A and B are shown apart, each in its own frame.
Chain A
Amino acid sequence: MSILVIAEHDNSELKQATLNVVAAAKAIGGDIDVLVAGENCGAVGEAAAKAEGVSKVMVADNAVYGHFLGENLGELVAEVGKGYSHILAAAGTVGKDFMPRVAALLDVAQVSDIMRVESEDTFVRPIYAGNAIATVKSSDSIKVITVRPTAFDPVAGEGGSATVETLDVVKDAGLSQFVKEELAKSDRPDLASAGIVVSGGRGMQNGENFKMLEQIADLMGAAVGASRAAVDAGFVPNDMQVGQTGKIVAPQLYIAVGISGAIQHLAGMSDSKVIVAINKDEEAPIFQVADYGLVADLFEAVPQLEEELKKVL
C-alpha cells in the first residue's frame, strides 16, 4: 500500500494537523508520501521531510496553488494521487474544499472526518453531530479520506529524513480567482491544536466582554473559542466557532464560559480531556459533560478566576 498525504500549511509553515494526518496514515500502514502544494512553499517541504515515517515529499510550487483554490488542488491531487491506494488530508476548510473534487474526479467515494482506522479499508467516523459513530468500509480502489486531526496523536515533527522532489505539474482550472482574505491575527495558539481552550457563549452578552476571557487565556497560554450562539450574535468572528460546523477541538483543558451546551457545540469539544463549565443556570446541559462545574455568574467568576490563576501560575 502507498499513501499520499496532502500537507496543510500556509506557504511558510507546516501545520501540525499534517503530523496528525501522517499518524492516521501510519495506522493504515504502507509507504507514506507527502504532497506540498502552494506558492513559495519550499520551507514547508523541508519541514515535511523531517516528519516521522515519511518516505518522500513532493513540492508543487506554483502561483496557481498559492491560495489553495479547490479547483486547482483537486486536479493536481487527482493526477498525483492516481497511483496511490489512499489519499489523506486534514478535515480543515482546505481539505473539506478540495478533497471531494479529488474523489469525484477519480470516481470514488470519500470517507469524511475519520476518527479511527480499523483496517486498510474500514474507518470510524462521527455522524449526526457525533451523536452516532459509524464504522464504514470502502469498496473503492483508491480511498479518499479526510482525517479529524484531534483524533490522532501527531507523529514527531523532527528526526525524519524523507527525500524532497520538485513536482512540475501546473493545474490551472481557470474557474476561480482569489480576491481577498481577512485572516484573524492573533498571538495566541491555534484554536484547533491548542492545549487549553477558553470559550465563551451567549452568556458573554457582547464582544467587549470576551476581553475577560482573553486575559485568562493569555495567563494560561490558551486559545479563545466561542459557541455558535456567540458568533451568530456577532460578538466574535466565525473562525472562533467550536462545534459541529465550526472547529473540532480536543485540548487538555476546555473552559466553557456562559455556554449552555447545545449538541452542536458538544460535537466540537466533548473529546477534550478535562472540561470546565461556568454557567449561572445549573440545569444547563454543559454540566452533563463537564468534569468540573461552577454554578455562578460569569461576570463575578471570571475576574476571580483570573486572580486565582495569577496566584498559582
Chain B
Amino acid sequence: MKVLVAVKRVIDYNVKVRVKPDNTGVDLANVKMAMNPFCEIAVEEAVRLKEKGVASEIVVVSIGPKACQEQIRTALALGADRGIHVETDEEVQSLEAAKLLKAVVEKEEPKLVILGKQSIDSDNNQTGQMLAALTGMGQGTFASEVVVEGDKVNVTREVDGGLMTLSLNLPAVVTTDLRLNEPRYASLPNIMKAKKKPLDNMSPADLGVDIAPRLSTLKVEAPASRQAGVKVADVAELVDKLKNEAKVI
C-alpha cells in the first residue's frame, strides 16, 4: 500500500527562539532549520512499515519555500521513495495546508497518511485532523503504536488519562506522538542516493487551492520572564520558606 508522509521545515528544536525587536514575529534569519521532530517520527514510521512489507511506496510531501526541498531530501535519504514539493513563499496556515494535502491525497490516493501531531513553531496541532475531516477519513491522533491489519489500522493513542486504542478503516490519517519510534539517522550513501530520487514541484494554484490566511498575527512578544529566586541551604530552610514565606503548604 502507498503511504503519504507530510513534513514541515521549522526552526531546529535546539535553537533558542528570539522574538524580533519590532514584535512582528520570531527571528528566523540565519537560524538553523530542520525537519519538525514529529515529522521525523512520521517518516520513520512509514519506513518501518515499508521494511515490514506493509507499505509498498512512500511519498513525502512538504509545503513552503524552495528551501523545503532540503527536508524532502532528508526524508528521501531516510527511505521515502519520491517527493512532492508544493512551493510557495506565502504563509500557509493549518486549514490551507490541509486543503493542499487533500489535493495531493486525491492525486496520489494513499492508503495511509502520516503527519506529525504538531509543528514546534506554531504548536497548532490541527493539520492532520483537518485533512482527515476534509477527505472523510478516520484519524488516529497522538499515536504511540500503529499496526496495519488488512483493511484496518489499529492506532494506540496517548490521551490525557493514559492510552486508548482505536481501529480505523483505511484509508486513514495518523498523527505521531513522541514515543511512536526513535528516528534513525540517514547514512551518507543514502543521502547521495536521495539526490537522484524523483521530486515533483507544484504550486498551490496547480492544486486549485486558495491559501489566503484566515488568521492575522497582530504581534509576537517574548513571554514574561520569570525571575530566578533564591537558593536554600537545606531541606529545613526550604520547608520553612514554603510554609512561612510563600505560604503554599
Contact = CB atoms under 8 A, between A and B. Distances in A.
Interface of A: 10, 67, 69-71, 74, 92-94, 96-101, 103-105, 107-113, 122, 126-140, 173-184, 192, 196, 220, 228, 231-232, 237-239, 244-245, 247, 252-253, 264, 270, 273-276, 282, 287-296, 301, 304-305, 308-309, 311-313
Contact of B222 (A110, A133, A276): A133
Contacts of B117: 245
B222 A181 contact: no
Contacts of B13: 264
B221 A128 contact: no
Contacts of B93: 109
A253 B241 contact: no
Contacts of B230: 291-293
Given A109-B215, A244-B120, A101 B167 contact: no
Given A109-B95, A127-B123, A287-B228, 11 more contacts: A69-B166, A100-B127, A135-B219, A175-B168, A176-B140, A183-B162, A253-B242, A253-B248, A293-B232, A294-B235, A305-B235
Interface in B226-245: 226, 228-232, 234-236, 238-239, 241-243
B164 interface: yes
Contact of B141 (A10, A96, A220): A96
B62 interface: no
A239 B159 contact: yes
Contact of A97 (B129, B172, B219, B243): B129
A130 B242 CA distance: 27
Given A133-B222, A196-B248, A289-B228, A309 B239 contact: yes
Contacts of B126: 100, 103, 110, 112
A282 to B, nearest CB: 8
Given A74-B133, A100-B126, A176-B167, A276 B242 contact: yes
Closest 9 CB pairs of A and B: A175-B138, A100-B129, A291-B229, A109-B214, A104-B130, A104-B133, A101-B133, A131-B17, A100-B126
Contacts of A305: 235, 238-239
A162 to B, nearest CB: 26
7 contacts: A100-B127, A132-B19, A137-B218, A183-B163, A253-B248, A276-B242, A293-B230
B159 A93 contact: yes
Interface string B154-174: 100111111111111100100
B26 interface: yes
A182 B163 contact: yes
A104 B98 contact: yes
B122 interface: yes
A133 to B, nearest CB: 5
A239 to B, nearest CB: 5
Nearest to A289: B226
B249 interface: yes
Given A238-B179, A245-B177, A93 B160 contact: yes
B124 interface: yes
Contacts of B239: 305, 308-309, 311-312
Most buried by A among B16, B17, B128: B17
Contacts of B30: none
Interface string B76-95: 00000000000000000111
Nearest to B157: A93
Contacts of B94: 100, 109-110
Contacts of B164: 67, 178, 180-182
Contacts of B128: 100
Interface in B127-160: 127-134, 136-142, 144, 154, 157-160
Contact of B123 (A99, A129, A273, A275): A129
Nearest to A295: B231
B146 to A, nearest CB: 13
A134 B228 CA distance: 24
A288 to B, nearest CB: 5
Contacts of B187: none
Nearest to B221: A133
B167 A181 contact: no
A173 B173 CA distance: 15
A289 B177 CA distance: 27
Given A175-B137, A245-B117, A112 B163 contact: no
B163 A238 contact: yes
B118 interface: yes
A164 to B, nearest CB: 26
Contacts of A288: 226, 228
Contacts of A98: 129
B104 to A, nearest CB: 16
Contacts of A129: 17, 120, 123
A180 B167 CA distance: 10
Given A128-B11, A132-B222, A291-B246, A308 B160 contact: no
B1 interface: no
Contacts of A311: 239
